[in-house]
């Protein structure tokens, strides 16, 4: 084992950027950890600096590993050591259950009216044992990307159900050469959990675990959903999809080798970048619905929130900064500049976003989001997700049928 403490101390020293102004005695320094992925750090820095200027305080940015799992273990080590080095943590949507004990209950620190207007799904996700552990910052959801030009050419409609999608994909594949139907995330990792949750939930098969962390996936509709996905491999989806993560799926879709893709909102800006071969030819829609009882559109909820450490020396200022960053103006700025989907409902009504097809579609999708059972499984969520994903992966790669593979997964994750 490496001495984690030493490593953390070094990385914090190296990764810390202090916006030094002559330190006045009454100035308070709040430190915030932001993701360093893509444009995120820049947006976070600008937002935090604006708050510092407005309030006369200082802000310290701590950069953290881009890999989510590494970031989580860094957070856990810091928080377990009761460190006050970081006041505000940017956390993933599946972490509240794991980290809840280390964060302030924001219901007690923020005026109730300040917490109004966020999507209820997100607030519920971030509430653990009645404690609001983080304020939603931006929201992600699984989306269906499609090639407008190809659907037009073959006079196809945007698929409403998975059966529509299969039929449309087959029709285009029969007419075009060198193109695959549907690409998604099939590698055995968290991304496949998200995909499988969408298939199962859209087929009326539930959201994997109930509130007391007992398995709900041992039902016919869930098994049928997985068996249907198994049928895609080698027909509408390439076999290689079983090794795809988000970026490999985007690679295939963006280079024009697929008609449909399941991905997160981040792909939108990149698909429409100046050097993208499919620029202007891409549409976005809710993921298709299944069939049978309880079938609906379902996209897995993703996104990030801001939480305040309970070891902070300045809870008041830290909460104030969190509310500033998750406020209307700042979320609007981030939406326009980085296409981060606001967690505040009212931002979608702003004129700049209202006419943008991407954001207007997204607001509709948010009602049908499927939430991963992270709050119920708590610290055991990653273990559950891994066991579940192995059952899904075994089914997809043809080792046994869905019902028997799902039955092998442990049923209690309390």
Binding site residues, other proteins, CB under 8 A: 1-2, 69-70, 73, 76-77, 79-80, 98, 180, 186-189, 238-245, 248, 251-252, 255, 257-258, 379, 382-383, 386, 390, 393, 397, 399
For the bound state, the minimum distance from the C-beta of residue 408 to other proteins, rounded and expressed in Å, comes to: 10
Q: Are 230 and 397 in contact (CB under 8 A)?
A: no
Please identify, using beta-carbon distances, which residue of 1 and 20 lies nearer to other proteins: 1
For the bound state, the minimum distance from the C-beta of residue 257 to other proteins, rounded and expressed in Å, comes to: 5
| Token digits of residue 165 | 């999608």
Please identify, using beta-carbon distances, which residue of 106 and 258 lies nearer to other proteins: 258
d(CA 109, CA 162): 45
3-state helix/strand/coil string of the chain: CCCHHHHHHHHHHHHEEECCCCCCCCCCEEEEEECCCCCHHHHHHHHHHHHHHHHCCEEEEEECCCCHHHHHHHHHHHHHCCCCCCCEEEEECCCHHHHHHHECCHHHHCCHHHHCCECHHHHHHCEECCEECCEEEEEEECEEEEEHHHHHHCCCCCCCEHHHHHHHHHHHHHHCCCCEEEECCCCCCHHHHHHHHHHHHHCCCCCCECCCCEECCCCHHHHHHHHHHHHHECCCECHHHHHCCHHHHHHHHHCCCEEEEEECCHHHHHHCCCCCCCCCCEEEECCCECCCCCCCCCEEEEEEEEEEECCCCCHHHHHHHHHHHCCHHHHHHHHHHHCCCECEHHHHHCHHHHCCHHHHHHHHHHHHEECCCHHHHHHHHHHHHHHHHHHHHHHHCCCCCHHHHHHCCCCECC
For the bound state, the minimum distance from the C-beta of residue 43 to other proteins, rounded and expressed in Å, comes to: 27
| Token digits of residue 142 | 């699984």
d(CA 347, CA 309): 27
For the bound state, the minimum distance from the C-beta of residue 218 to other proteins, rounded and expressed in Å, comes to: 20
Please identify, using beta-carbon distances, which residue of 57 and 185 lies nearer to other proteins: 185
For the bound state, the minimum distance from the C-beta of residue 398 to other proteins, rounded and expressed in Å, comes to: 8
Q: Are 138 and 366 in contact (CB under 8 A)?
A: no
| Token digits of residue 126 | 């971030």
Please identify, using beta-carbon distances, which residue of 71 and 334 lies nearer to other proteins: 71
d(CA 190, CA 214): 19
For the bound state, the minimum distance from the C-beta of residue 91 to other proteins, rounded and expressed in Å, comes to: 14
For the bound state, the minimum distance from the C-beta of residue 160 to other proteins, rounded and expressed in Å, comes to: 27
Please identify, using beta-carbon distances, which residue of 98 and 323 lies nearer to other proteins: 98
Please identify, using beta-carbon distances, which residue of 115 and 242 lies nearer to other proteins: 242
Cα distances (angstroms) measured from residue 291 to each of 27, 64, 164 = 59, 43, 11
Please identify, using beta-carbon distances, which residue of 386 and 411 lies nearer to other proteins: 386
Please identify, using beta-carbon distances, which residue of 72 and 208 lies nearer to other proteins: 72
For the bound state, the minimum distance from the C-beta of residue 239 to other proteins, rounded and expressed in Å, comes to: 4
Please identify, using beta-carbon distances, which residue of 7 and 24 lies nearer to other proteins: 7
For the bound state, the minimum distance from the C-beta of residue 54 to other proteins, rounded and expressed in Å, comes to: 35
Please identify, using beta-carbon distances, which residue of 386 and 404 lies nearer to other proteins: 386
For the bound state, the minimum distance from the C-beta of residue 209 to other proteins, rounded and expressed in Å, comes to: 17
Please identify, using beta-carbon distances, which residue of 30 and 94 lies nearer to other proteins: 94
For the bound state, the minimum distance from the C-beta of residue 140 to other proteins, rounded and expressed in Å, comes to: 20
């Amino acid at each position: 084992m490496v001495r984690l403490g030493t490593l953390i101390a070094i990385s914090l020293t190296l990764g810390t950027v202090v916006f030094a102004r002559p330190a006045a005695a009454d100035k308070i320094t709040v430190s915030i950890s932001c993701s360093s992925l893509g444009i995120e750090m820049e947006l976070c820095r600008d937002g935090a600096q604006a708050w510092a200027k407005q309030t006369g305080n200082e802000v310290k940015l701590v950069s953290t590993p881009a890999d989510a799992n590494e970031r989580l273990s860094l957070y856990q080590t810091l928080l377990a050591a009761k460190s006050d080095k970081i006041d505000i943590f940017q956390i993933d949507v599946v972490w509240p259950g794991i980290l809840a004990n280390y964060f302030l209950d924001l219901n007690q620190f923020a005026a109730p009216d300040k917490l109004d207007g966020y999507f209820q799904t997100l607030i519920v996700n971030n509430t653990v044992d009645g404690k609001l552990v983080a304020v939603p910052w931006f929201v992600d959801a699984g989306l269906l990307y499609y090639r407008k030009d190809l659907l037009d050419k073959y006079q196809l409609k945007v698929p409403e159900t998975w059966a529509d999608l299969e039929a449309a994909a087959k029709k285009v594949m029969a007419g075009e050469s060198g193109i695959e139907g549907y690409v998604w995330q099939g590698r055995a990792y968290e991304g496949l959990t998200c995909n499988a949750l969408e298939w199962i939930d859209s087929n009326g098969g539930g959201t994997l675990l109930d509130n007391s962390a007992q398995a709900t996936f041992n039902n016919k509709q869930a098994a049928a959903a997985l068996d249907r996905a198994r049928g895609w491999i080698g027909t509408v989806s390439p076999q290689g999809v079983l090794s795809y993560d988000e970026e490999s799926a985007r690679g295939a879709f963006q280079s024009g080798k697929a008609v449909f893709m399941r991905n997160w909102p981040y792909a939108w800006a990149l698909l429409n970048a100046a050097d993208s071969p499919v620029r202007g030819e891409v549409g976005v829609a809710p993921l298709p619905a299944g069939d049978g009882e309880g079938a609906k559109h379902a996209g897995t909820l993703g996104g990030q929130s801001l939480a305040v450490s309970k070891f902070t020396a300045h809870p008041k200022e830290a909460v104030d900064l969190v509310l500033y960053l998750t406020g209307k103006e700042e979320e609007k700025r981030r939406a326009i500049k980085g296409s981060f989907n606001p967690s505040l409902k009212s931002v979608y009504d702003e004129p700049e976003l209202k006419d943008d097809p991407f954001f207007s579609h997204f607001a509709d999708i948010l009602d049908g989001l499927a939430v991963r059972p992270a709050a119920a499984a708590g610290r055991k969520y990653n273990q559950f997700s891994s066991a579940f994903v192995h059952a899904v992966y075994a089914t997809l790669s043809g080792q046994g049928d869905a019902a028997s593979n799902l039955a092998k997964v442990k049923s209690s994750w309390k």
